[in-house]
Structure 1
Amino acid sequence: METSPEPEQSTESILPTATTIDDPVDGVSTYPQFEEAPGLEALSTAATTNMEYMPQLSVHTQSPRSFNTPQHSANNLDFILNPTRPEAHQSSPLVDHSLRSLSRTSTFISDADSVREHEVAFLLRHFGETTGQWMDLFDLGCYFAHHVPILAVSNPLLKYSVCAYAAKQLSRVGGRKAIVGGIVSEQALMELYPNSDKVDWVYISAKYYDRAISLLVEELSKSGGKDFPITPSIDGHFNSPVNIESPQSTPSQSNKRRRLSKPIHRDADETIAAAAILCVYEFLDNALHAWSRHLSGTKSLFDLAEREGMMPLHSPSPSTPGSLSFRTKPSVARRATFWNFARQDFLAAFINEGQTRLNTEDWDLWRAAGLLIDDHGFVISSNKESSYPELQMSMREDMISNALIWLMSKIVNFIATGDSIDNVYPQDRGSPTAVFGINQMTLLERWHELANELDVWYQGLPDTFKPCARLSIVTDGSLPKDSPRTVFPEIWYSIPMCGSTMQSYHFTRILLLTNKPHESTTKRTTVSNRLHSYRSIEMEVRHHSHEICGIALGRPEGSVRIHQVQPLFIAGQCLTETRERKVILDLLKDVEIDLGWATDYRVKQLVKDWNWHETMI
């Protein structure tokens, strides 16, 4: 059995998080940080200069949108790779010398040592059984875990992106890997890696990341400046009732034949999927700056898809609430990657206290991605009592969960803009800019609109989003006082996706309640009425916080646990009892210990907010 390749240079130096440069300094290769890698930096800069839907506000914001560079066509790959030099269009080749350096064979990586059959098989399987599942929690089709490994066999960019992500996760847990499928007498050889706990997974991860970045730049530049072939095939009309499949439906024979062929847009889909995987690679260890740049780079690719392949073909029909516009149906790969990106986009906006990159007010975009939205902008209910049976309009659990991400993105944008005019005209290009001080009544009206949209979504949930089992808080003294079960309930959902979605719902309710405009200032009222309003909000917030913790204590699967980091963080900001806070810290720290998913930045923030000393944790 082959062992992991050893680096040609000393392993004592810090290994790169990005592309290596083969210009030795004092006999040792120099490894730059991600910020020095020009490929995705150029891609992300292109994205940040093309967010035309966002009004320009006069206040400082953490959202990376304020680059004062000329506007260019998003379909121009020359501009995507060289956005800061508009004159390069006429005077420079497509890829400059710094980008070409990415395609050279690095002294850090030799073809003879770097790619080994067993190593690739081990990492591909680990991705399919573990880390890829984390990306597929809200996708019943499991595109990343089930289909990407198949595509990776013939697509080196996907293969190296997958291997980099899988190896990085192993580096975060000391090479520990759970046995998938329960108790077994003997594991397969490709499930095992010799001396896994002693392998330098950081090096292996950086090795594949280096190759993936090089191939990504090559993929974007090989067309010689021609438009990126991102238009999906028109394989049906989306939102047509006859094309909405039930969980038991069987694809038609024509659809089966279509899957066997290779459409011309498949390479573009795989490139965007690889970019999404590299985004998660950065988020895994809380490399927030690099993660943000990867997201912006990926957004530029989605801009192309939105303009060419995810726009409506016909105008909406106003005849009935469910009579939505027919539109081009994006590929399965495109849709799966879009929703994975949308979720990361929301998280980036929440963590950085900024706004989303995706335009939440573009209903056509979200409808094309699979949401059923009526003519008034509400998510169409998917339970038996509220749906449109005559039109057979309903969504499956994954799209219901994705609809919540759309609503959460709208809410986080509302919070980020504060009392600017953008709250009244959200993401409207024609809205007034640099106007602040909107009266509380106007803000409150907008808040109630968002709360109503969330209510409609919640009231339309099917029974699958209800818990299957719940254990109440133990109060009979049979457990130690510091046991989590004496503080919170335990809640279990048979569908992990639904449990995670409900955690996000309670998280969203807390965000709305704690950011409600001061209703008491919109009209004259008594002090007692104001206090009653505050206490009512506090009680609701406490309930939602306990639900979040109860679901976490039900020990859901790993894919749910990595998505519960932000809900647990917000619950920790709301709860005041020492016992409650210690349970939340333990839950957060265990996620990083068990899965390698970074939570320490949230633990440190909570300890700081609580004015706790390190000895208290």
Structure 2
Amino acid sequence: MPGVPSNKACERCKKRHLKCDETRPHCQRCTAAGVECPGYVQTRKFIDQGASVRRRYAPYQDAQFRSGTAANAGRGGEEHVSASPLHEMQVEELREVTLESRDGFQMTEGPEDMTAMQSQFSVSNTPEPQYVPKVNRVSGHDSRGSPRGTLQNSVSPNTAMGYSSGLETTNAVTSNDRPDYQNLVSSESVSHRNEKEEFQDIFSELMTGTEHEVAFLLRHFTQVIAPWLDLSDAGKFFSVLVPIRAINCQSLKYSIAALAAKQLGRVKGAKSSTGGGMFSSPATTETYPNAAQVDWYLKAANYYYLAASDLNTSTSGGYTIVSSSAVLESPIELVGRWLNKRSPQRIGQTSIDAVFLRKAEDTLASIALLTLHLSGINSLFESLLRLHQKESITFSHGIRASFWNFSRQDYLGSYFTRSETHLDPRNLPLWRAAGISIDEQEKFHMVDSGSIGLSLEDQAANGLSWLVSKVVNFLAKSKQSQIAQWTGSSPGSVSETPGASADASEQTYPNTNTWLDLSFEFQTWFEGVPETFRPCVRIEHPRDLSKPSDGGQLPFPEVFYSLATCAATMQHYHFGRIALLLNRPPDAVSAPSTAFDRLQGYREVTKEVEYRSREVCGIALGRPQGEVRVYMVPLLFAVGQCLESTDEHQIIVDLLRGVEADMGWATESAVQNLQSSWSR
């Protein structure tokens, strides 16, 4: 019967009803008996054709899962989940599976446990999406043996968990990143897996895209991940509106599912019960069969492919056949090209039509979830500015929400590479359109909330993002000038004018006046924030409760803010001040004239850096909300390089590893880099 799996035992053991050890090319039972092993019958393969396959194997699902057998034992109260066909799916099931029968079903992945997405999608003429390494559940390393994530995987909710998630400064996947198929072998040998596990695998595979799975992932995104993206948005666009928009927007729905699945892969299927009550029974949409054993990375890869495919179709007018290059193309480039094709004359001189505006918000939200790198993001928002056709405009709620997420990714990623940000802080119309008030002297100030639609807390948080972006670009310019001095070349990238003289370039060098202006802007910002930026709880010298009653005190304070926006913003404020303190340019005129004066200046800088480092760690020790913790990894890495005590080092390591354990945010690379620097 076509498609029915065959037994894996050799022909002799099969006829004698003996248990075969399945050793290749000859089983050991035949060898020990001194007879020639007749070999194995070649297994049959078929391509998963989506709904037809689900209908074919529906009886097995009903028999195994509705009766509450061993496949779902130990999960009392958990409902049966129907693996019904996904009617909305625009492409058929993409993964070729080999099914074999041995008193039940089991799945053999070939090549063994191949986790590169391009090898998972074996339907002919389908694109090759980007490679997502599968993480070994025991070692925490991917299939190529590298630790999960990098330091730069610690900037955005998407990239810090796995696609690159290298937070950019995440790197796009290139052809060189594609896996060596021979090395992609699962740590679990297929022959040692029992029937229950193998049936769970195929059941999980068939659940991809089902109503229950999509609902489960959307709810997980709404409750856990969306608040990370709404850090400086009191209107909660990603938590409230994006899940509703996903009902009618395929690319948004699959983007949400991809990010939620990836985060579940990072935490091995565990879900936080914070706020859900201690004894309440979970809702149907909060549970998933055998969540800890599900290959969430594979599901994330599948959903990423579906989201990128739909995004390509929707931004191409619906007439373009999805190609391999289109799926691998940056979502930012896809949307940017779509915006550039739209003629301003079709929109009018005063406003953008509601249909286009809604689609622009949805596509921006999708790429905020899918993005691997920020190349092209500035030109994308420039296109949106041109389409508004007005001198003084403010972006819509959805566009603003995406903009500020890109802004945070931008300056945190650029800081560690000492490169200029993609979003230029000197482009004042862009930042004003994003909702902050910047006067003609290029100074940020707070305004009445009703005039721009942002709360005072959001204005302060977003205004600080603009200031930190200015600091990062100041550091980038300083680096360029230093390199020019070392090499004896003209700092053309600093002067910005081709052929400019060395004297002209020297005038644009980031000098002490520029540094003082930035320091003054930070101080002015701090003095103008509302009272909600004061902590509601602060213990200056908390006692280490893990030690006896006479134990010592912790080296950091413990600080807690009632608003997550304020907690995160104050951490980033101290981070920006530290970056300025450590990068003050020398000034031959006003610099201290004696060695003692210079030494005194160094001591003052060290004292302030230590104070601000303690504040960053103190907020982290207060165990703030999840949306604060996921963005503090680069900050803890930065301050960790400024502190010297062994006790301080251990606390920072514990804080970093706690973020990864609780939230799935990659931190191990940051820990290893810090430990390496401390041991020098």
Q: Same fold (TM over 0.5)?
A: yes
1:273 aligns with 2:352: no
**Structure 1 residues 343 and 478 mapped into 2: Cα distance closer, same or farther (>3 Å)?**
closer
Residue by residue over 1:106-135, the C-alpha shift from the partner in whole angstroms, topping out at 9 and shown as x without a partner, is xx9999753100000000001111111111
Q: Show the counterpart of 1:411.
A: 471
Aligned pair partner of 1:16 in 116, 120, 126: 116
Residue by residue over 1:305-356, the C-alpha shift from the partner in whole angstroms, topping out at 9 and shown as x without a partner, is 13323x7x34xxxxxxxxxxxx123211111111111111112212333111
Aligned pair partner of 1:358 in 414, 419, 423: 423
Aligned pair partner of 1:196 in 284, 291, 294: 291
Q: Aligned partner of 2:575: which letter?
A: F
How far the C-alpha of 1:198 sits from its partner, in A, is 1.1
1:160 aligns with 2:254: yes
Q: Aligned partner of 1:498: which letter?
A: C
Residue by residue over 1:65-90, the C-alpha shift from the partner in whole angstroms, topping out at 9 and shown as x without a partner, is xxxxxxxxxxxxxxxxxxxxxxxxxx
Q: Show the counterpart of 2:594.
A: 526
Q: Aligned partner of 2:210: which letter?
A: R
SS of the aligned residue for 1:221 comes to coil
**Structure 1 residues 19 and 264 mapped into 2: Cα distance closer, same or farther (>3 Å)?**
farther
Residue by residue over 1:133-192, the C-alpha shift from the partner in whole angstroms, topping out at 9 and shown as x without a partner, is 111111111111111100000000000000000000000000000125331421111011
Aligned residues of 1:562 and 1:591 also touching (Cα < 8 A): yes
Computing the radius of gyration from Cα coordinates, the structure with the larger value is 2
Aligned residues of 1:233 and 1:263 also touching (Cα < 8 A): no
Q: Aligned partner of 1:272: which letter?
A: L
SS of the aligned residue for 1:348 comes to helix
Q: For the residues of structure 1 that align with 2:314 and 2:498, how far apart are their CA atoms? A: 38
Q: Show the counterpart of 1:375.
A: 440
Deviates more, 1:338-347 or 1:537-546: 338-347
Q: For the residues of structure 2 that align with 1:546 and 1:180, how far apart are their CA atoms? A: 28
Residue by residue over 1:484-512, the C-alpha shift from the partner in whole angstroms, topping out at 9 and shown as x without a partner, is 95211110111111011000001111000
How far the C-alpha of 1:400 sits from its partner, in A, is 1.1
1:487 aligns with 2:555: yes
Q: Show the counterpart of 1:103.
A: none
User: Which runs of 5 or more residues in structure 1 are unaligned?
Assistant: 36-62, 65-107, 238-257, 280-290, 315-326, 613-617
**Structure 1 residues 583 and 419 mapped into 2: Cα distance closer, same or farther (>3 Å)?**
closer
Q: Show the counterpart of 1:211.
A: 306
Report which structure shows greater RCO (CA 8 Å, sep ≥6).
1
Q: For the residues of structure 2 that align with 1:143 and 1:434, how far apart are their CA atoms? A: 49
Q: Show the counterpart of 2:11.
A: none
Aligned residues of 2:449 and 2:455 also touching (Cα < 8 A): no
Q: Aligned partner of 1:366: which letter?
A: W
Q: Show the counterpart of 1:241.
A: none
Residue by residue over 1:435-488, the C-alpha shift from the partner in whole angstroms, topping out at 9 and shown as x without a partner, is 598489961111111111111111111101111110121479994599895211
Aligned residues of 1:275 and 1:298 also touching (Cα < 8 A): no
Q: For the residues of structure 2 that align with 1:21 and 1:441, how far apart are their CA atoms? A: 52
Deviates more, 1:175-184 or 1:509-518: 175-184
1:334 aligns with 2:394: no
Q: For the residues of structure 1 that align with 2:543 and 2:443, how far apart are their CA atoms? A: 42
Aligned residues of 1:175 and 1:199 also touching (Cα < 8 A): yes
Q: Aligned partner of 1:405: which letter?
A: S
Superposition map of 1:196-595 within 5 A: 196-222=291-317, 227-229=340-342, 262-279=354-371, 291-292=372-373, 295-309=374-388, 313-314=390-391, 327-381=392-446, 396-418=456-478, 420=480, 438=506, 443-474=511-542, 479=547, 485-519=553-587, 523=591, 525-595=593-663
1:179 aligns with 2:258: no
**Structure 1 residues 531 and 348 mapped into 2: Cα distance closer, same or farther (>3 Å)?**
same
Deviates more, 1:591-600 or 1:153-162: 591-600
Q: For the residues of structure 2 that align with 1:171 and 1:156, how far apart are their CA atoms? A: 22
**Structure 1 residues 490 and 381 mapped into 2: Cα distance closer, same or farther (>3 Å)?**
same
Residues matched between the structures, number: 487
Aligned-residue CA RMSD (Å): 4.1
Residue by residue over 1:579-616, the C-alpha shift from the partner in whole angstroms, topping out at 9 and shown as x without a partner, is 0011001101110111001112211211121126xxxx
Q: Aligned partner of 1:360: which letter?
A: P
**Structure 1 residues 394 and 433 mapped into 2: Cα distance closer, same or farther (>3 Å)?**
farther
Q: Aligned partner of 1:504: which letter?
A: H
SS of the aligned residue for 1:418 comes to helix
Q: For the residues of structure 1 that align with 2:453 and 2:263, how far apart are their CA atoms? A: 40
Q: For the residues of structure 1 that align with 2:545 and 2:360, how far apart are their CA atoms? A: 60
Q: Aligned partner of 2:660: which letter?
A: E
**Structure 1 residues 471 and 272 mapped into 2: Cα distance closer, same or farther (>3 Å)?**
same
**Structure 1 residues 193 and 392 mapped into 2: Cα distance closer, same or farther (>3 Å)?**
closer
Q: For the residues of structure 2 that align with 1:584 and 1:204, how far apart are their CA atoms? A: 33
1:33 aligns with 2:135: no
Aligned residues of 1:18 and 1:209 also touching (Cα < 8 A): no
Q: For the residues of structure 1 that align with 2:408 and 2:679, how far apart are their CA atoms? A: 31
Instruction: State TM-score, norm by structure 2.
Output: 0.64
**Structure 1 residues 274 and 229 mapped into 2: Cα distance closer, same or farther (>3 Å)?**
farther
Identity %: 37
